[in-house]
Chains A and B, each alone.
Chain A
Amino acid sequence: MPDRADKSVLEMRRRSFLLGGGGLALGLAAGGCTKLGFGAQEAGPGNKIGAFIEIGNDGHVTIVTPGAEMGQGVSSSLPKIVAEELGADWAKVEVRLSGVDPAFNNPKGRQRSANSDAVTSYFEPLRKVGASAREMLVAAAAARWQVDAATITAENGVLTNSENGQELNFGDVAEDAAKLPIPDEPKLKDAKDFKLIGKDGPRKDIPAKVFGTTVFGMDLVLPDMLYAAVKHVPIAGGVLAGFDAEAAKGMPGVREIVPLENAIAVIADSYWQAQQAVDTIELKESPGERVDTDELMKTFRAALGDDDNTLPFPVGGTFDNLIMSAEQSEIDKLLARGPIKFEQEYSVPYLAHATMEPVCATALIETDRCEIWAPTQAADRIPPEVAAAIGLPESAITVHRTFIGGGFGRKNERDFIIQAALIAQAKPGKPVMLIWSRQQDTQHDYYRPATVVRSRAALKSDGTILAIHGRAAGQTLTTGVAMRWEGFADATIVGGMLLPDYDMGTARIDMVEVPVPIRTGYWRSVSLSNNGFFAEAVINDIAAQLGRDPLEYRLALLRDNPRAEAVIKLAAEKAGWGKPKPANVGRGIAFTHAWNSHCAQVVEVTVTGKQVTVNRIVCAFDCGTQVEPDNVAAQIEGGIVFGLSAALFGKINFRDGAVVEESFADYPVVTMANMPEIEVHTIQTEGEIGGVGEAGTPGVAPALTAAIFDATGDHIRNLPITNAGYEVPQ
């Protein structure tokens, strides 16, 4: 039974994964946490006004971001929300990464960056943080001037007496303000008065990234620091069965050999020395099964027929009023009746995260305390999990967060952080920086799982879907909280397989789970990374079977759904859908609705023989309110490239239990050589706020395969496309 903290994770994830985000407003935390961010006030150089804001006597404003900065811009967007209500001079605000503390939790009780919910979950609470601080500054000025607080305005770091024009800087009253009680229900601005939110401003983290001064996980310098490299037992699910480290012991710089449960580590004076030494260690063969991905796919396909071992999943509705899948017998009857029958199988492979920054973490162990420095998406899980691993109380663990060189879900895991702590136990009193080689990073990931899907539908000749059944077979996630309730399939595998946006008649989603010892985890867009393809490839293929234009067919299938219709039409219009094109050029379209955002993409390709060039991807995106419009576009561009890499190339192979791929050389990704033009057009539906970081990814694969079909008549139903004999310029 999940514990209480896990339940809140379940609840939050239900909203996004369960129904593909349909209809649920993820963002606005009703009521919010008025006390959010107001921890104990500590003495410091600046005056702390709650946990988020520090204002020096010179007026220098520092705002911390609770989010994990991995490129999605939370080091700008979240502090900007505070600064808006605070009335600070944003150009002069300094931003820092916050510490790890319940004061920084989002309204669901989590301090972690995942699920595209930073802005949506923190928006209202951070407005209150800024507004409370503003009222405290105003109250301090009112006391100083002996006037009514209502006469004082705060803007650009200046407090003005609107009656006589007298001014005070924030710094002039910060010390007094910090002593005042924190207001419970501060007055928030009207959205029409926003000066910062919705306007582009340069991202705060960019200059340091351009000058090379940003501190990423490996850039830490601590006194007496040692370094560690690791070699994992190669096979999935393997354990360390023995090793020969004789050669390593005598190598330059080597200090310790540290055996772990599934790996061996070397501590040395430098990373390179540690890596050279660990490379010489021979591991004895581990017992256990040896997975092979070709065999697994056959097993998964066979499992599709296992009617006796399926787990169903809701097909729509809201969290409080779920629409359950139809029973197997009912669906079978309807499917048998047709009159037109559709049946196809699809598959997606295991995928690596392949962040530019290989996994790394630093740990310092002392008798009664432990300090961790890490690029982490899930800071709040580190104290309890490291504490359990090394046998110290949770309160003894201090976590320092660094900037992250790419997360995509990999740095949400704590395996490498716990590993660093266990290794550092061999050298108490010295910080040990653990760095994984690229090979280890590629071969010991928490992969996006492979899945096979069979989709069957009964159609009328006018295209109405009378019944539809999507069945997945594969393994579930091995990480984190199983996103499933008793008797239901794993939401992280099947969520979004059928989009409730379409009218699909009687529907069923189910899954046959196959136990597999491969470590699997959250990969940018999670269940949408596979179901974005499955759901929309099915719609495109049904349209093809019926001889219908996929754009026109989608619009016909939509239930009364203005946001979906708007993005689909906008993407099509901007892409020139329907306009004449050369015979070897193809266009495909796909739609995503998740995280309370709507996204439609048109991919255009040129296919010459077996050579595919992706010319252009045109995207229409609606996340409602945008904190930083340019950054929204950048995130969608980036999410699209991420999805394109997977659709074109992404495939992790296991042979004889071990991952074959080692680096970008054999796990290729999109580069300048094959980067298409990307256009992002946005709609800002009023009164809505949705997630951005993952939204660009799911629609690429189905739009791409549809574009190739449009150009060639060839259906690609098993990703990546380079596995179907197509080549892409590299």
Chain B
Amino acid sequence: MSISLNVNDETYEVDLAPETPLLWAIRDAVGLKGTKFGCGVGVCGTCTVDLDGIAVRSCSVPVGDAQGTQITTIEGLGNEEAPHPIQQAWIDEQVPQCGYCQPGMMMAAFAMLKTNPEPSDEDIRAQMTNICRCGTYGRIFKAVRRAAEQASSTSD
């Protein structure tokens, strides 16, 4: 079935069964590999993308339901030429170790900071539920705070 997807401001026509998880549509049909497969059951968050402004676990969203939405993946957040402040904060704090969870982690931070630009520590703990097995949470805290401060200082 032909499904129209808007990913990072570009339109893709993908030929997939509508119940195919959005994760695999993004990775295979659209060809963007930054969004990762971690558990397939919505528990770990490595597949997190921004869908119409909300952080969703793309392994648990059927691609048919994503038609007509605007999806942002890590590739759409920023790149080497134009890093997003969250990505810059992640580099400045030297957050990643293996790096596998980090795209999803950054997308979760992106969604949180849009609706909660000055999160408290409790907010960060409650809203950043993605799993990191390398244990980079301490640096994630610092990077989120750094990105939040950056955003609030540039908006002043």
Instruction: Name A residues whose Cβ lies closer than 8 Å to a Cβ of B.
Output: 69-73, 202-203, 205-216, 218-219, 221, 252, 270-272, 275, 354-358, 403-408, 435, 437-438, 630-631, 634-635, 637-642, 645, 662-665, 669-673, 675, 677-678
Contacts and interface: CB of A to CB of B under 8 A. Distances in A.
Nearest to B33: A219
A438 B43 CA distance: 11
A672 B35 CA distance: 21
B98 A404 contact: yes
A677 B138 contact: yes
A626 to B, nearest CB: 15
Contacts of B95: 206, 210
Interface string B13-45: 000010011001001100111111111110110
A34 to B, nearest CB: 33
Majority secondary structure, B binding face? loop
Interface string B129-144: 1111111111111000
Interface string B40-60: 110110100000000000000
Nearest to B86: A210
Given A216-B36, A435-B37, A642-B133, A405 B98 contact: yes
Contacts, number: 175
Contact of A211 (B44, B74, B97, B141): B74
A642 B135 contact: yes
Contacts of B40: 275, 437-438
B99 A671 contact: no
B128 interface: yes
Contact of A212 (B73, B91, B138): B73
A309 B81 CA distance: 66
Contacts of B91: 202, 206-207, 210
A638 B83 contact: no
Contacts of A218: 27, 33, 36-37
A678 B139 CA distance: 10
B33 A210 contact: no
B100 A665 contact: no
Nearest to A218: B37
Contacts of B24: 270-272
B138 A639 contact: no
A202 B94 CA distance: 7
B98 A675 contact: no
Nearest to A212: B34
B96 A638 contact: no
A695 B20 CA distance: 42
Nearest to B31: A221
B34 A213 contact: yes
B113 interface: no
A406 B128 CA distance: 20
Contacts of A203: 94
Contact of A634 (B20, B78, B139): B139
Given A219-B33, A670-B137, 12 more contacts: A202-B91, A210-B91, A211-B75, A214-B99, A271-B24, A272-B20, A356-B38, A438-B38, A638-B97, A640-B135, A672-B129, A675-B141
